[in-house]
Structure 1
Amino acid sequence: MHFDRLWRGGRLATLDESKGGLGLVEDGSVGCVAGRIAFVGAGLPEGWTADEVIELEGRLVTPGLIDCHTHLVFAGDRADEFEMRLRGETYETIAAAGGGIVSTVAKTRAASEEQLVASALERLDRLLAEGVTAVEVKSGYGLDLESELKMLRAARALEGARAVSVATSLLAAHTLPPEHRDSREVYVAKVVEEIIPAAVGLADAVDAFCESNAFTPDEVRRVFDAARAHGLPVRLHADQRTAGGGAQLAAKYGALSADHLERTDAAGARALAQAGTVAVLLPGAFYALRDEAKPPVALFREAGVRMAVATDCNPGSSPLTSLLTAVNMAVILFGLTVDEALAGVTREAARAIGRWDEMGSLEVGKACNLAIWDATRPVELAYWLGRNPLRSRVFQGEPS
């Protein structure tokens, strides 16, 4: 067997479910041909040759990390609102006073596509430096046809500017734009009849925010029905601030993921498990908003819900550009095990963006996306704060 490139002598966390846990393989090797994994396992295959051999010297190797919930494309910041929250203002009162999402909408509408790409690349580079090889990027700060498509084009451009896979989500149903505050029906109709059809080819999925200060379950159903009609899978911001049955709604539509879920109940957990919908936990938002309700991890375990972990990088509720910090927070704040948290930024994150067949584990046939760490134990990736143990990042077989 001949490889373009071969990494040997490492401790592999394959995330191969057939092996249990993290699928650890001692003294393991990974062989790559044309950007795909052609061999993974202990030792070396008989009669192997390779154009290049990289000695791992016992280092830990994981699949490239996946940040499966981000809002990387936006303009400006909301540091002033951060100060307001520190003084005791709530997320809801800030939004009611004209802050929150709509303040970012104004800045994003005013920015050029090139400006959005440039600012997003700064945030993306911080993720890549920690071993991320795939990201999901949402729109949702445009809230009109032209601006939503501009955001999606900017997100797509990231993939051309960096060695990374990008999955895009249309989040036009994020909140009501200022011009439609008194015309909910008109805006929902625009999303359903104009924005979703125009986003086909730019968006990989349709997302929505089902919340008391955003969209009702009935409105989300209309959005999801339109997504289905155009062949797009769905995702949902659900049960974050209120218990509104968002998990059950996501499950009913077979959503790729339901995200946040701080106030999901046992019925919601069972519905997610039965639908195969991934629960995406976002500890950055929980931390930044100083929330008191935690996602019901015990209920998710009991029901058999798959759990992913992501940064939710955005300018308001989660200004977080470190997926390793999100892993630490998931372990410390939410009580995930190290194995659950690392599966959450690899295997389960791949499922949450609908790309499990392409990435998320070290298995033959998948993209050769690797994170090679100056570490030997998986716990070290959750243990450090402020230290980046990444040795090298490999994207589609090429060190980058």
Structure 2
Amino acid sequence: MKADRLLIDCHAATMVEGGTAYGAIEDAAVVIADGRIAWIGPRAELPQVEAVETEYLNGRWLTPGLIDCHTHLVFGGDRSGEFDQRLGGATYEEIARAGGGIVSSVQATRAASEEALFASAKTRLEGLKATGVTTVEIKSGYGLDLDSELKMLRVARRIGREGGVHVRTSYLGLHAVPPEHRADRETYVDKAVDEILPAAHAEGLVDAVDAYCEPIAFSTAEVSRLFEKARSLGLPVKLHADQLSNGGGAALAARYRALSADHIEHADDDGVAAMGQAGVVAVLLPGAFLMLRETQAPPVDRLRAHGVRMAVATDCNPGTSPLASMTAALNLACVQFRLTPEEALAGATREAARALGLQDRCGTLEVGKAADLAAWDIARPAELAYWLGKPLLHARWIDGRRS
């Protein structure tokens, strides 16, 4: 067997279901050819390999590269002042209704150049990469007009070309009503659905379509209009659902067979059951839960009971989740939501890939999948959800190349 790279003297948490915990292979070997995994298994069973390069990992653990499947990585400015306000007792809803929140980020993002947005996003990206991330989802939604939404999505595509990660983009036009349309939100919804989305799609900037379904944001009827347009363009959908209240977001996501419903702290049993039947992934966002000091956690037991897959992401954004560490997100998901360390790691690999529609490409260490890998200075996989702030990453590989 000819190969570009052989990784040896390691243990592999393959995250393949149905076998050992974490899909673990002790004393493993991984053969990489043409950017993909050509062979993986116990070193004792390794076939004869003619490799260009052999790397000895000295007993380290290999996992799939981590996947952050929900971020708002591209934005202008920050909202640290709102952090002060919330600590002083103001609620997220009060800040938003007073003209802060998403709208303040819109103003800063509109004012920023593409170059400035790219530079600031790259600084946040470094935190994700340092915690093993190889694939990132990036949303628009802080532009809320044609030029600014396209600007954000172009920056996201550039990050995918130059940032050392794979990027999937989501058009989040229904994120907030911009200030100029506060008195005529219907006109803005028309623009978001019928003008901005088709233009972004025509330019090849959109992989999925997202919306924020809450009383302070958009109704199920408004989101349905956007989702119908996405369907007509052949684009999958996902949804910020039931974060602050039970507005039927989980059920709406299920109705459109969304890739994921994200947040879902207030989803009811009917909504969770519908997600299970439709195969909608629940994306849990513990950073926002922490920063907003929420008390109602996502219904994890009901998600398990209904067979809903659970992903974990940072929700990296300027207002409610200034979190740029994937391993910290794993820890918070375990501590706050009572996921097991194995569930959390699956949520940042196998299930995160599913939440982006990438389960056939990445998320597990299997023959034929992309050689997006992370090697860790740990003695057991549970340490990835145990340590807070300790550097654990030894190396990353993107499509088989060390990055």
Q: Tell me if both proteins adopt one fold, taking TM over 0.5 as the criterion.
A: yes
For the residues of structure 1 that align with 2:193 and 2:92, how far apart are their CA atoms?
28
**Residue 161, structure 1, aligned to residue 186, structure 2:** no
Given that 2:29 and 2:46 are in contact with CA atoms closer than 8 Å, whether structure 1 keeps it comes out as no
Secondary structure in 1 aligned to 2:367? coil
Match of 2:242 in 1: 239
Match of 1:12 in 2: 12
1:248-259 equivalences under 5 Å are: 248-259=251-262
For the residues of structure 2 that align with 1:374 and 1:161, how far apart are their CA atoms?
27
Which amino acid in the other structure matches residue 194 of structure 1? E
Match of 2:47 in 1: 46
Match of 1:320 in 2: 323
1:169-318 equivalences under 5 Å are: 169-200=170-201, 201-318=204-321
Given that 1:11 and 1:376 are in contact with CA atoms closer than 8 Å, whether structure 2 keeps it comes out as no
Given that 1:205 and 1:232 are in contact with CA atoms closer than 8 Å, whether structure 2 keeps it comes out as yes
Which amino acid in the other structure matches residue 196 of structure 2? I
> Deviation at 1:182?
1.2
Match of 1:35 in 2: 35
Which amino acid in the other structure matches residue 199 of structure 1? A
For the residues of structure 2 that align with 1:323 and 1:47, how far apart are their CA atoms?
36
> Deviation at 1:46?
2.4
For the residues of structure 2 that align with 1:237 and 1:395, how far apart are their CA atoms?
29
For the residues of structure 2 that align with 1:59 and 1:302, how far apart are their CA atoms?
35
1:379 to 366, 377, 382: 382
Given that 1:102 and 1:178 are in contact with CA atoms closer than 8 Å, whether structure 2 keeps it comes out as yes
Query: For each residue in 1:375-396, what CA deviation from the matched residue of structure 2 results, as whole angstroms up to 9, or x when unmatched?
Result: 1201111111110211111111
Which aligned runs of 4 or more in structure 1 are off by greater than 3 angstroms? Answer: none
Query: For each residue in 1:290-328, what CA deviation from the matched residue of structure 2 results, as whole angstroms up to 9, or x when unmatched?
Result: 011100000000000000000000000001001100100
Match of 2:362 in 1: 359
Match of 2:400 in 1: 397
Secondary structure in 1 aligned to 2:143? coil
Match of 1:76 in 2: 77
> Deviation at 1:20?
5.1
Match of 2:337 in 1: 334
Given that 1:70 and 1:138 are in contact with CA atoms closer than 8 Å, whether structure 2 keeps it comes out as yes
For the residues of structure 2 that align with 1:395 and 1:193, how far apart are their CA atoms?
37
Range with greater deviation from structure 2 (42-51 or 276-285) = 42-51
> Deviation at 1:130?
1.1
Query: What TM-score, normalized to structure 2?
Result: 0.98
> Deviation at 1:21?
3.9
For the residues of structure 2 that align with 1:114 and 1:194, how far apart are their CA atoms?
25
Which amino acid in the other structure matches residue 132 of structure 2? G
> Deviation at 1:18?
4.1
> Deviation at 1:57?
2.0
**Residue 22, structure 1, aligned to residue 25, structure 2:** no
Which amino acid in the other structure matches residue 6 of structure 1? L
1:119-138 equivalences under 5 Å are: 119-138=120-139
> Deviation at 1:153?
0.2
Query: For each residue in 1:107-131, what CA deviation from the matched residue of structure 2 results, as whole angstroms up to 9, or x when unmatched?
Result: 0001011111110000001100111
Secondary structure in 2 aligned to 1:56? strand
Which amino acid in the other structure matches residue 269 of structure 1? V
For the residues of structure 2 that align with 1:48 and 1:88, how far apart are their CA atoms?
63
Point out where structure 1 has 5 or more consecutive residues left out of the alignment: none
Which amino acid in the other structure matches residue 28 of structure 1? A
For the residues of structure 2 that align with 1:242 and 1:335, how far apart are their CA atoms?
21
Which amino acid in the other structure matches residue 27 of structure 2? D
For the residues of structure 2 that align with 1:156 and 1:355, how far apart are their CA atoms?
17
1:92-103 equivalences under 5 Å are: 92-103=93-104
Task: Report percent identity of matched pairs.
Answer: 59
Which amino acid in the other structure matches residue 129 of structure 1? A
Query: For each residue in 1:339-376, what CA deviation from the matched residue of structure 2 results, as whole angstroms up to 9, or x when unmatched?
Result: 10000000000011111111101011111011100012
Going from structure 1 to structure 2, the CA distance change for 1:102 and 1:329 (only over 3 Å counts) comes to same
RMSD of aligned Cα (Å): 0.9
Going from structure 1 to structure 2, the CA distance change for 1:373 and 1:123 (only over 3 Å counts) comes to same
